Amino acid sequence: MTKLMKPLLLMASLACMPQAGAAQMSAPSITSALPNVSSMTAGNAAGVLQYCMKNNLVSSSSAGAVLEGLGKKPDLTKSADYAAGQSGKVLTGSGKGTSIAGMQPYLKSQTCSMVLKQAKHFL
């Protein structure tokens, strides 16, 4: 009878152990911490790219080429959206802004990359 009990006890103890996946806490999604750049204006995108280049958060050669193209748009650098972008504020269509300066370091460069990608749509 003891030979039968040992495997049953082993199976019961294994079933009671927490699984590795269940024991881990999940981190919040990176995308939920990033601003929605799809509704930003060309002026804000240009200003944010300036900020990102100044702070070495995006490739200056890639961003520089896009900024050169955006710079051909009339009055773009005179807008309030551009000024907000230069200070590192990403303006979304909801009227809210997200400050890049207040983000975690890994989110700053991710945001700048997203803005660069979005800015290419304005060319």
Report pLDDT digits (tens) over 3-60.
655 655 555 554 555 554 444 555 556 667 899 999 999 999 999 999 999 999 999 9
The CA distances from residue 121 to 14, 69, 88, 102, 118, in Å, are: 55, 11, 20, 26, 6
Structure confidence at residue 21 (pLDDT): 45
DSSP state of 91: E
Structure confidence at residue 22 (pLDDT): 43
* pLDDT at 86 exceeding the cut of 50: yes
The predicted model gives 78-96 an average pLDDT of 92
The answer to whether the CB of 90 falls within 8 A of the CB of 35 is yes
The set of residues, in sequence order, having a beta carbon less than 8 Å from that of 49 and lying 6+ positions away, is 58, 63, 66, 67, 70, 85, 112, 115, 116, 119
- Dump pLDDT digits (tens) for 109-119: 999 999 999 99
